């Protein structure tokens, strides 16, 4: 259960096909005939367009409700009963959206001893078996001095990934979309000592590598702390440049250039194990958040509007990412 190789080869026998317009057209017609009979194939003669469907849209009211429910579970550090409740909520929402998910349970060795952690890995099959991951962590940092409910860190990104899953499930995607909910991103004691961070993402990369399933992962889009009412996302210098450019271009197109800024910063986060393994990755994070790791990271300091902005940007960028992956040989 933990490290099963993906079901990719079974899902998408179209993997080996070229992506010429002719092929796409043919594939699309086949799919439509079987799944949803629409006249799309005749309307759009596949001018390089990958998925000609009427897109479902990101609903920030739904996303905000996911955020609010998580905050309602209280502090959710790795290994806590509240995090188990939160995970059950994630699993039940994925199920309600018709998305298949599995849990990867592991024991992490932390400075406070062994902690049982669980990653949630959900899959939305696309035309290709190759995957693009949308990721977040869902644990909150352990604080004993105050009550930390992590409205932005990490309820906001968890909420957005859930809502993105609902939207993408309703579409025919070119690439398989993997939704990754990492446990144990936060340091138990000190981020900078004893590798005390990103337990869940490191676990995912290790496990996928051993199972031979990492090669099928073509890109990772990580969301973290995107709830800030005053959303300010800076480019991360660790992230893959073309992916960052693609996401920032989408933001500019949508009129969110004020939120997605051109200044650069350097972020150490769950994308690092993926980058070290050679997977193109981008971190969308607003660390310019005065409430970060304080008792003020609560509902008063986040907004549905910020979730909407990030949701819209990711959905706009995704076809561009697919296009780049399918046309530029790696």
Interface contacts to Zn ion, rule CB under 5 A = 141, 153
Closest approach, Cβ 285 to Zn ion, in A, equals 10
Closest approach, Cβ 137 to Zn ion, in A, equals 8
| Kind of pairing between the strands at 113-124 and 100-110 | antiparallel
Closest approach, Cβ 237 to Zn ion, in A, equals 19
CB 111 within 8 A of CB 194: yes
CB 151 within 8 A of CB 71: yes
Closer to Zn ion by Cβ: residue 79 or 319: 79
Report the Cα–Cα distance between both ends of the chain, in Å, rounded: 31
Closest approach, Cβ 253 to Zn ion, in A, equals 30
Closer to Zn ion by Cβ: residue 208 or 222: 222
Closer to Zn ion by Cβ: residue 141 or 203: 141
Expressed in percent and rounded to 5, the helix, strand and coil fractions of the chain are 40, 20, 45
How far is residue 99's CA from residue 187's CA, in Å, rounded to a whole number?
Answer: 30
Residue of 111, 125, 121 whose CA lies nearest to 182: 121
Q: Residue 328: CB partners within 8 Å, gap ≥ 6?
A: none
Closest approach, Cβ 294 to Zn ion, in A, equals 11
Closer to Zn ion by Cβ: residue 184 or 216: 184
Closer to Zn ion by Cβ: residue 26 or 82: 82
Q: Residue 39: CB partners within 8 Å, gap ≥ 6?
A: none
CB 27 within 8 A of CB 124: no
Closest approach, Cβ 258 to Zn ion, in A, equals 24
Closer to Zn ion by Cβ: residue 230 or 294: 294
Closer to Zn ion by Cβ: residue 52 or 77: 77
Closest approach, Cβ 197 to Zn ion, in A, equals 10
- Tokens 């859930």, located at residue: 162
Give all strands (DSSP E) within the chain, no chain letters: 100-110, 113-124, 131-137, 176-182, 217-224, 233-236, 260-265, 281-285
Closer to Zn ion by Cβ: residue 141 or 234: 141
Nearest to Zn ion by Cβ — which residue? 153
Closest approach, Cβ 89 to Zn ion, in A, equals 20
Which residues on adjacent β-strands are paired with residue 100? Answer: 123
Which residues on adjacent β-strands are paired with residue 260? Answer: 233
Which residues on adjacent β-strands are paired with residue 217? Answer: 131
């Amino acid at each position: 259960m933990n490290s099963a190789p993906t079901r990719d080869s079974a899902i998408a026998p179209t993997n080996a096909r070229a992506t010429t317009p002719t092929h796409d057209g043919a594939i699309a017609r086949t799919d439509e005939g079987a799944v949803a009979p629409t006249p799309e194939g005749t309307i759009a003669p596949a001018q390089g367009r990958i998925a000609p469907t009427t897109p479902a849209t990101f609903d920030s009211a739904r996303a905000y409700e996911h955020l609010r429910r998580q905050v309602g579970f209280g502090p959710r550090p790795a290994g806590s009963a509240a995090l188990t409740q939160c995970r059950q909520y994630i699993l039940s929402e994925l199920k309600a959206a018709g998305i298949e998910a599995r849990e990867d349970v592991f024991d992490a060795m932390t400075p406070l001893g062994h902690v049982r952690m669980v990653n949630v890995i959900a899959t939305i099959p696309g035309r290709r078996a190759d995957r693009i991951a949308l990721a977040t962590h869902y644990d909150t940092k352990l604080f004993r001095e105050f009550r930390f409910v992590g409205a932005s860190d990490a309820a906001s990104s968890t909420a957005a990934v859930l809502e993105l899953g609902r939207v993408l499930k309703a579409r025919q995607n070119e690439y398989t979309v993997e939704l990754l909910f990492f446990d144990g991103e936060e340091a138990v004691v000190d981020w900078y000592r004893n590798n005390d961070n990103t337990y869940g993402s490191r676990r995912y990369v290790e496990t996928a590598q051993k199972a031979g399933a990492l090669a099928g992962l073509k890109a990772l889009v990580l969301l973290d702390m995107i709830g800030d009412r005053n959303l300010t996302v800076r480019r991360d210098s660790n992230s893959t440049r073309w992916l960052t450019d693609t996401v920032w271009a989408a933001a500019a197109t949508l009129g969110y250039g004020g939120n997605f800024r051109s200044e650069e910063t350097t972020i150490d986060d769950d994308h690092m194990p993926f980058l070290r393994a050679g997977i193109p990755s981008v971190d969308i994070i607003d660390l310019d958040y005065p409430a970060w790791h304080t008792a003020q990271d609560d509902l008063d300091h986040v907004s549905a509007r910020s979730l909407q902005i990030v949701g819209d940007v990711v959905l706009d960028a995704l076809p561009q990412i697919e296009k780049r992956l399918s046309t530029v040989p790696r």
